[in-house]
Amino acid sequence: MRRIDAVFARHKKPAFIGFTVAGDPDKETSIRAAMALIKGGTDILELGIPFSDPVADGPTIQKADERSLASGTTVDTVFDIVREIRKRSEVPIVFLVYFNMVCHRGIDRFYREAHEAGVDGILVADMPVEEADEVYKAALRNYIDPIFLITQTTSDTRIKKIAAKSRGYLYLVAVLGVTGVRDRVSSGALDLLKRVRKYTGVPLALGFGISTPDHAKTCAAAGADGVIVGSAIVDIISRNPQNPDVMERDLEAYVSEMKKAL
């Protein structure tokens, strides 16, 4: 059984999926942050590959991308980070990447190297399902779960198409807009869960704007199989760039609190 499938198979409660930008604020601190998330109880680790134009992300993650790129992070650096994490943990690792970076490296090469490093799933944030055939085939050839986004404006027809190609889990966008902390989980997000559930048995994870234990409880009560947290984690990292010990402590505590809420 693949690592991501095993997470959802063994969990009776929703999985906690923690996101951080690889290389933020530098390679070594990024590895420490990832391990703190895992130690705190993160079930699946999402690593964003830093990009100069992350159109799906709000200011918090955009700034993390800028810090990572300024420190010299490349795709090779990110693969190195994954290999280092793999020496210490078997937690599933998912990339969130933009297609420009996959295309530049070569689609099959990117997926092959990701698999060899220890990556379990890849979400190409700006890749519509209608244009995903080559990427989808490369993912399957290299034993990587292709993960797709579904938003509140996605039609039922497109939901069926996306669900048919999805493995691992589906990433349901809980807000209209970009990533970033929000005050509450919208009713639209909960309606989206119900809509998508009709068409697939693939696990459904809600992300974008989820940051508090109350948010986690709301998602769990609505039937989400997972919750994805990014900006709140990146905020913790950004507050302690010169004090990684404090950063690690705060990340562990935050994940633990969110896990209890689930």
Asked if 80 is an active-site residue, the reply is: no
Asked if 57 is an active-site residue, the reply is: yes
Q: Which residues neighbour 255 within 8 Å (Cβ) at sequence distance 6 or greater?
A: 16, 18, 36, 37, 40, 41, 42
What pairing do the DSSP bridges indicate for beta strands 170-173 and 121-124? Answer: unpaired
Of 94, 117, 118, 116, give the one whose Cα is nearest residue 44. Answer: 94
The residue from 24, 43, 46, 225 that is catalytic is 46
Q: Which residues neighbour 252 within 8 Å (Cβ) at sequence distance 6 or greater?
A: 36, 37, 39, 40
The residue length of the chain stands at: 262
The residue from 43, 57, 65, 248 that is catalytic is 57
Active site residues: 46, 57
